[in-house]
Amino acid sequence: MSHSITPHTSRQYDWELEDIRTRVLVMGRLVEQQIVEAVDALVNKDVEKAKSVINEDYEVDAMDVSIDEECTQILACRQPAAGDLRLVIAVIKIVADLERIGDGAERIARAAISLSDREKPANVFESIKSMANCAAGMLRDSLDAFAHMDTEAAFSVVMQDTQVDAQHENILRQLITYMMEDPRNISWAVELTLVVRILERIGDHACNICEHVIYLVKGRDVRHIGLEGMEQIVREK
């Protein structure tokens, strides 16, 4: 079920709250694009694209600082309560997750550069690309859940995390096999192990965003209570 921000007597206050929501979504789309481009650079040995992802990381950091500052201003000047306070808190936490995802995209881009001149099995890259698409899809869906304040959509994203975890384990098994077969594979396989770990963490960050959405709408902290507890809160009327 979707929800919306309750209008206030101050149009300026309404604008400030809507502005931080919009800026989170803009930041999220940029981060999602960075993930896709970083993995594409890795798979296609595109050094220039990888460098572009690295160079654009400052934009994500700048958005992180700017949105945090705006939230601090709202807290100081508006002294929000109830749902408004939860929105500001959720935005601060979501932005922190997005900044970490951006850092992950930068690290993948750096791995793409260091691995660009080495031959690696194509099937590993296909598996990594599939996992990246799944993690990026989770991020996209988590941002849509935030945009519409939709707790059921948020819970649906959290349910997808097991798929990313399974892909992570499968790729690790592939990489370990290559390392055991030939010691010359160890250096690039270890670097790809870091890449798939980052992708697994991106799925975790998407789940965090969804937990913040549920907190925002329901006013309940759903961290550490398990899927059954989370589902019960989401279904509550």
Q: With both helix axes pointing from N to C terminus, report the angle between 82-114 and 47-78 in degrees, rounded to the nearest 10.
A: 160
Contacts of 39 (CB under 8 A, 6+ apart): 108, 128, 129, 132, 199
Instruction: Map residue 205 onto helix, strand or coil.
Output: helix
Asked if residue 139 has pLDDT above 90, the reply is yes
SS3 call for 99: helix
Distance CA 106, CA 50 (A): 8
11-235 — its CATH code? 1.20.58.220
pTM of the model as a whole:
0.91
Query: Which stretches of the chain are DSSP H helices?
Result: 11-44, 47-78, 82-114, 122-148, 151-159, 161-181, 186-218, 226-235
Among residues 33, 108, 95, which one has the least CA distance to residue 87?
Answer: 95
How far apart CA 175 and CA 235 sit, in angstroms, is 41
Instruction: For residues 159 and 227, give the distance between their C-alpha atoms in angstroms, rounded to a whole number.
Output: 8
Provide, rounded to the nearest whole percent, the portion of the chain with pLDDT above 70. 96
Q: Which string of DSSP letters, residue by residue, matches 110-154?
A: HHHHHTTTS---HHHHHHHHHHHHHHHHHHHHHHHHHHHT-HHHH
Q: What SS3 state is found at 201?
A: helix
Which of 191, 206, 198 is CA-nearest to residue 146?
A: 206
How confident is residue 48, by pLDDT bands cut at 50, 70 and 90?
A: very high
Nearest alpha-carbon partner for 127 in 52, 60, 199, 69 = 199
Whether the Cβ atoms of residue 97 and residue 208 lie closer than 8 Å to each other: yes
Report yes or no: 91 and 26 within 8 Å, Cβ to Cβ.
no
Q: Considering only residues 227 and 51, tell me which one the structure prediction assigns the higher pLDDT.
A: 51
Which whole number is the average pLDDT over 220-236? 86
* Domain ranges within the chain, ordered by starting residue: 11-235
* pLDDT tens readout for residues 193-216: 999 999 999 999 999 999 999 999
